[in-house]
Structure 1
Amino acid sequence: MGKKCVLVSDCKAGDVISQKVVSKYGATIAVENTIINYYIIQKLAAFEIKYVWIYAAGMEGTPKFISTNFFDVKKNYKENVIEISEVVNDLSKGKKVEVAKMNKISNSIYKAINDEYYIVKCLSELKNSEGYVYSHCVNVSFYGMLLAKWLCLTKRDISQIVEAGLLHDIGQVKVPIEILNKKGKVDIEEFGEIKKHPVYGYNMVKGTNIVSDIVKEVILMHHERMNSTGYPLGKNGDELSIYCKIIAVVDAYDAITSDRVYRKRETPFKAFEILKNNSLEYFDIHVMNTFLENIAACYVGSKVLLNTGEEGEILYVPPHNITKPVVSIGKRYIDLSKEKSIEIKAML
């Protein structure tokens, strides 16, 4: 399918953006494959964006293209969850894992690197349909890949992040299942056991050649924090690699937006708020801001349930206020930054 550059004034509702649109300050306004609506056209003009790239096939060809891409990502995601579960189970039993098998899973994820809109849509739909540990590892790998791309890292670095995401939490299989699946609050002793999972995971791979030393370090240190309050080593931000900082951010985001046995998932917009409030203490501020500014735009077009009981669609996410998007309900526009009593209750 071809692409063409058009004046924003010539855009029509239903056109599909084929290349990310960024403001002159570097904030993402719309991601690739966003379906343009009237509100987005207004905002593009407000940010003085004169031209955008759109798919040239028109409304007849575009939905087919979108569906094909999305279903490919969805199919590969399910296969990746199954395959990484096999790898983790083999590692937990001390069995040898072939490098080729890890490369196959990593390459499957990497080939979707330019489909960020569909990746986010897929993870929103499927992230809790499989066993949490394995789906979480695949989710973190996808999110980590996108964040590494947004940080303009090299292809080699991004590949390392993909593998680190896939294996970062493998040590959880060594934690007693009754602790991981406990519905109530864990006690101090149980939490102490959970905090051992980075060491368990590191020990599972330290004597193998299936991954690099960089990936092994991430497995050990993805719960370290900028202010030295993390575990298991209590490292500070200056001692953490960019790989550890990336996985720390996306690991936290996926955990917050996933259902767990002891709590329900939060919406992405609530997660943005939680992470922004904790970013200075726990996470690298540049890494965190890059993730939030880019991931937020991926939710344009998502269906939501408001606390009023009404169902709507995300029309626009302001780059300067990502926790308060604009929602459409029929022909009404609701700006959540102005309607203080209205909030998103759930993603649909």
Structure 2
Amino acid sequence: MGKICILVSECKLGDIVAQKVVSKYGATIAVENTVINNYIKNKLIAFDINYIWIYGNADEETPKLIDNNLLKLKKDYKQNVMEINEVINDLSRGKPVNVQKIDKISNSIYNAINDEYHIIKCLSELRTADQHLYSHSINVSFYGMLLGKWLCLTKSEINKIVQAGLLHDIGKAKIPTEILNKKGKLDVQEVEEIKRHTIYGYNMVKRIHIISDEVKEAILLHHERMNKSGYPMGKDGDELSLYSKIIGIADAYDAITSERIYRHRETPFIAFEILQKENIECFDIHIMSTFLGNLAACYVGSRVMLNNGRTGEILYVPPHAITKPIVSVESEYIDLSKESNLKIIRMI
């Protein structure tokens, strides 16, 4: 299916966006694969967008193309989870890091860099608590890769971020499974042991010359925070590399939105709120705002359930209010920023 550049005034309802649409102020209006509806079209006009790229004219073949892309991504994702499972299990048995396998997984992930819509859809749908450690490593690589792309980093830099995401939690291979899988609250000693995973992971790779120093540093420092509240050394923001900051944000977001043995996942919009309010002093503001603003736009078209039991589709995520999107419910437009009693409780 080819791409066609057309006037916004001529685009039809049901046309599918083929290239991200950004306003002159840098706000994301629509991501690739967004389906044009009245609300989106009016927003394009309001932001003075004259032309957009679409996948030809919407027809029966286009949704099949999108489904095939998603199916392939899900298949590759599951394979990558199995591969990283083997890497981490080998480490727990004292074997060295399989760098060739890490490179293979990294390349598979990087190949999807221009398909952010399907990446987010895939990560939203394929989440289980029982494989958390393995899927979490893959997820953090994907989120880190997208953040690197949104920060306009080079391919070489983004590849290092992908590798850092895959390896950031390998130190947990040294943590007893009864601690990792404990359903109840961890005691003080158990918490301290969990915190040592950053040091364990760093020690596993520090002598492997083909792993870059930036990746090694991200493994060691991804739990450090801008306000010195992190671990293992309590460093501040000036002492943290870009890679450590990126992996720290990707790790935190995926942790909030993932199923765990001891708690349920939060919706992306609750996660945005937590990261904006509760962790505002913990993360680099520029990197965080870049991540959340671009990521939020990727949820346009997602099906959601509101706390009143009604279901609908996200039509638009305002750049100035990413926690309160516009939702279409049975042909009614609901602006959650103006409905204080309503909120999204589940992604469908």
Q: Compute the TM-score of the two structures, normalised by the length of structure 2.
A: 0.97
Query: Structure 1 residues 133 and 211, CA, compared in 2 at 3 Å: closer, same or farther?
Result: same
Deviations 1:51-70 (A, max 9, x none): 11111153222112101111
Contact 2:97-2:204 at 8 Å conserved across structures? no
In 1, are the aligned partners of 2:327 and 2:335 still within 8 Å (CA)?
Answer: yes
State the Cα deviation string for residues 63-103 of structure 1 (Å, max 9, x = none): 12101111111110000000011112222333234432221
**Contact 1:144 1:247 (C-alpha < 8 Å) held by counterparts:** yes
CA contact (8 A) 2:129 2:261 kept: no
**Residue 168 of structure 2 aligns with which residue?**
168
Aligned to 1:190: 190
Are 2:341 and 1:341 aligned?
Answer: yes
Give the superposed CA RMSD.
1.3
Of the structure 1 ranges 133-142 and 171-180, higher mean CA displacement relative to structure 2 is found in 171-180
Task: Say if 1:129 and 1:194 are closer, same or farther in 2 by CA, change over 3 A.
Answer: closer
Partner Cα distance (2:245, 2:59) in 1: 41
What is the SS of the residue equivalent to 2:280?
helix
Give the secondary-structure state (helix, strand or coil) at the position aligned to 2:59: helix
> Which residue of 1 is the match for residue 47 of structure 2?
47
Aligned to 1:227: 227
Q: CA deviation at 1:187?
A: 2.2
Partner of 2:281: 281
Aligned match of 1:23: 23
Secondary structure (helix, strand or coil) at the match of 1:145 reads: helix
CA positional deviation for 1:129:
6.5
Alignment partners' CA distance in 1, 2:221 and 2:215: 10
Aligned residue for 1:40, secondary structure, equals: helix
Contact 1:97 1:210 survives alignment (8 Å): no
Match of 2:237 in 1: 237
- Within 5 A, what are the aligned runs for 1:109-120? 109-120=109-120
Percent identity among equivalent residues?
Answer: 67
Deviations along 1:190-211, one digit per CA (max 9) or x if unpaired, are 2111111101111122223452
The 10-residue stretch of structure 1 (83-92 or 158-167) with the greater mean CA deviation from structure 2: 83-92
Contact 1:99 1:209 (8 Å CA) reproduced: no
Partner of 2:149: 149
Query: Does the 8 Å CA contact 1:16/1:35 hold for their aligned counterparts?
Result: yes
- Quote the Cα distance in structure 1 between the aligned partners of 2:287 and 2:278: 13
- Residue 178 of structure 1 deviates from its aligned partner by 1.9
Tell me the alpha carbon deviations over residues 97-118 of structure 1, each in whole angstroms, 9 at most, x when there is no partner. Answer: 4432221110000000001000
1:84 aligns with 2:46: no
Aligned letter for 2:167? L
Q: What residue is the counterpart of 2:217 in the other structure?
A: 217
TM-score, L = length of structure 1? 0.97
Q: Contact 1:257 / 1:266 at 8 angstroms: preserved in 2?
A: yes
| Distance across 2 between alignment mates of 1:94 and 1:181 | 20
Contact 2:97 2:205 in 1 (8 A): no
State the secondary structure of the residue aligned to 2:281: helix
Tell me if the contact between 1:150 and 1:294 (Cα under 8 Å) persists in the aligned partners. Answer: yes
Q: For 2:55, give the aligned amino acid.
A: Y
- Structure 1, unpaired ranges of 5+: none
* Most deviating of 328-337 and 152-161: 328-337
TM-aligned CA deviation for residue 6 of structure 1 = 1.1
Asked if the contact 1:17–1:52 (Cα under 8 Å) also holds between the matched residues in 2, the reply is yes
